[in-house]
């Protein structure tokens, strides 16, 4: 499983509507309107990097998005601390 967070900037006043539309995209686990330099943060899950890229491409087609930044989740280490 590959996971990524997608940070989204929107047109002014459109964050809530954009978050709702992004949440309907297949592969998106959650999408929340937030306060800060980005307006929406979405989490996507896919079987591969290629599938994450497809999901992000569908997210980018949502109206009122001005910019996205995709942050893949780093794999968890299988070793314990101190080993």
pTM: 0.90
The residues pairing with 46 across neighbouring beta strands, listed in sequence order, are 2
Q: So what's the pLDDT on residue 60?
A: 98
Residue 74 has pLDDT above 60, yes or no: yes
pLDDT bin (cut points 50, 70, 90) of residue 81 is low
The residues pairing with 71 across neighbouring beta strands, listed in sequence order, are 5
CA gap 24, 7 in Å, rounded: 16
Q: So what's the pLDDT on residue 76?
A: 82
Tens-digit pLDDT profile for residues 14-68? 999 999 999 999 999 999 999 999 999 999 999 999 999 999 999 999 999 999 9
Q: Do the Cβ atoms of 59 and 8 come closer than 8 Å?
A: yes
Q: What angle do CA 68, 24, 57 make, to 5 degrees?
A: 35
């Amino acid at each position: 499983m590959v996971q990524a967070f997608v940070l989204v900037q929107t047109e002014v006043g459109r964050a809530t509507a954009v978050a709702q539309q992004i949440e309907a995209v297949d592969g998106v686990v959650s999408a929340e309107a937030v306060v800060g330099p980005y307006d929406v943060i979405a989490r996507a899950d896919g079987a591969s990097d290629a599938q994450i890229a497809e999901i992000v491409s569908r997210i980018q087609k949502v109206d009122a998005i001005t910019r996205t930044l995709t942050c893949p989740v780093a794999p968890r280490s299988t070793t314990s601390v101190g080993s």
